[in-house]
Amino acid sequence: MKDELWKSIFLFPARELYIAITRISVSYFASKTSENLIQKLRIQYLKRLLYQDGEFYDDRENTPAKMEKPLIIFTLLSI
């Protein structure tokens, strides 16, 4: 009985500490992964815009406001 009480007093806080550390590390690595992914997507999108021909920008569907909108959305997602 005394041994079981000692185990419950010691193991409960240890288990809770393990769970807290695990949750913090998972959230940290998930946020870093998503941050890197969004940055990579933004760079790819900007490179594709810069490598377009001049005719691409003369089209009414490709105004600067329409082209910068996805970059703004990616920026807002990364905040």
The DSSP code sequence of 4-66 is HHHHHHHHHHHHHHHHHHHHHHHHHHHHHHHHHHHHHHHHHHHHHHHTS-HHHHHSGGG-HHH
- What integer pLDDT is reported at residue 1 of this predicted model? 57
Contact 38, 78 (CB under 8 A): yes
- What integer pLDDT is reported at residue 79 of this predicted model? 59
* pTM for the structure as a whole: 0.58
One digit per residue, the tens of pLDDT, for the chain of length 79 reads 567 777 777 777 888 899 999 999 999 999 999 889 988 988 888 888 788 777 777 777 877 777 778 777 767 766 5
